[in-house]
Structure 1
Amino acid sequence: MLYFAYGSNMSVPRIKARIPAAEFVTTARLHGFRLTFSKPGCDHSGKCDVIQTGREDDAVFGVVYRISALDKPILDRYEGLGIDYLERSVALHTPDGDEIRAYLYVATEQQPELSPYDWYKKHVLCGAREAGLPADYVASIEAVAAVPDPDPERTRKELSIYLSCPVGGGAALSD
């Protein structure tokens, strides 16, 4: 199965912590959508979502992974399939110009006023940088306002999967 990760699961350490057998396939672009951090998380912060705009010049970049049918229910649980996210099949464009189909998760609710926690934004930035997504797209993620998590233990736990990951200016995820 091909899965299109556009948020925190773009990060290899993040997806491997959840689905160790996930295999990188390619990067890809989803036309006619834009990335937001408007999906309400159970921790009351903003998580990634894609919003369909219908404008061909809008695009969401991400990473396509191959996962097994046996691992999909695990990822479904992490994503809250049927509660927090719905599954959708989409056409993606690879850097080679090929069109492929993959599934992604789309939020069931949006709250545009939400901000992501700083650790969540770092997951997304780490994945975008690892994947070599376009610099202007990475810059648009960098420009998203993030807030500190009031739970420092959750921050420590979330970032413990990284040995290092440049997120801007050569800084590692070690806040």
Structure 2
Amino acid sequence: MSDMFYAAYGSNLHPHRLCTRVETARLVGTGLVDGMGVRFHKRGLDGSAKCSLIEVAEHTHVAVYAIDTDDQPVLDLIEGLGRGYDRAVVEVSGFGPCWTYIASSEAVDDALVPHHWYKRLVLLGCEYHSFPADYIEAIRSIPSSDDPLVERRTLNHELITQLEQAMPAGDAP
């Protein structure tokens, strides 16, 4: 067993979220991916937008996790590898090469918006890591929509409550 670095930039930013999904995940720090910007345009299985990275003259804040290589297939399954996401390697300041997931071209739809709960998961991760206010505000300004599936919406609101309770002291919204 050995560890590899995973760069999270979307709904996996918050350590409580990722560490409940992948047991061996350990937060090791945060960094920047230069030359890439985060976009909510990957078509999710629920028909709404999920995050991806695109090559642009921007930078993206990420949380870097060490994950046991044996658990990579677990995250591949959760993230939908081969069902809209491809594995990629990005250069993260202070860490070097890290793997992440980027939307495959056929899964990109710029007309989509995220559900409110999904955008909130991303924002909670950004807030947890104290990313810059302008970065958080840019994500906050992204339009979102209500999830029409009540059961999924309720389940994710329960997760949001857990993440809010897991925020560092003084940082809870």
TM-score range, shorter chain: 0.7 to 0.9
| CA drift at 1:39 | 0.0
Change (3 A) 1:66 1:164: closer
Please name the residue that 1:91 is paired with.
91
Structure 1 distance, partners of 2:139, 2:21, is: 23
* Cα deviation code 1:120-171 (max 9, x no counterpart): 001100101001111110111100111000012101112323335289xx88
Q: 2:9 aligns with which of 6, 12, 36?
A: 6
What 5-or-longer segments of structure 2 have no aligned partner?
Answer: none
**Aligned position for 1:142:** 140
Q: Is the 8 A contact 1:62 1:133 kept in 2?
A: no
Q: Secondary structure at the match of 2:164?
A: coil
SS in 2 for 1:9: coil
Report what 2:114 is aligned to: 116
Q: Could you tell me whether the CA contact under 8 Å between 2:39 and 2:51 is conserved in 1?
A: yes
- In the other structure, the counterpart of 1:104 is 100
TM-score of the pair, normalised by structure 1: 0.87
Unaligned ranges ≥5, structure 1:
none
Contact 2:16 2:163 in 1 (8 A): no
Letter in 2 for 1:23: R
Shift of 1:70: 1.4
* TM-score, reference length from structure 2: 0.88
Q: What secondary structure, in the 3-state scheme, does the structure 2 residue paired with 1:121 have?
A: helix
Quickly say closer, same or farther: Cα 1:171–1:102, change in 2 above 3 A: closer
Given the superposition, is the C-alpha separation of residues 21 and 60 from structure 1 closer, same or farther in structure 2, using an over 3 Å criterion?
Answer: same
**Paired letter, 1:112:** D
How far apart are the structure 1 equivalents of 2:95 and 2:17?
26
Whole-angstrom CA distance in 1 between matches of 2:82 and 2:22: 19
How many residues matched?
Answer: 163
Residue 65 of structure 1 corresponds to 65
Distance 2:71 2:163 in 1: 27
CA separation of 1:4 and 1:69: change in aligned 2, threshold 3 A: same
Once the two structures are TM-superposed, the CA of residue 82 in structure 1 deviates from its matched residue by 2.1
Higher-helix-fraction structure = 2
Alignment match, 2:162: 163
1:11-62 alpha-carbon deviations (Å, 9 max, x no partner): 2222122112210011111111111100000101000000112x2xx01111
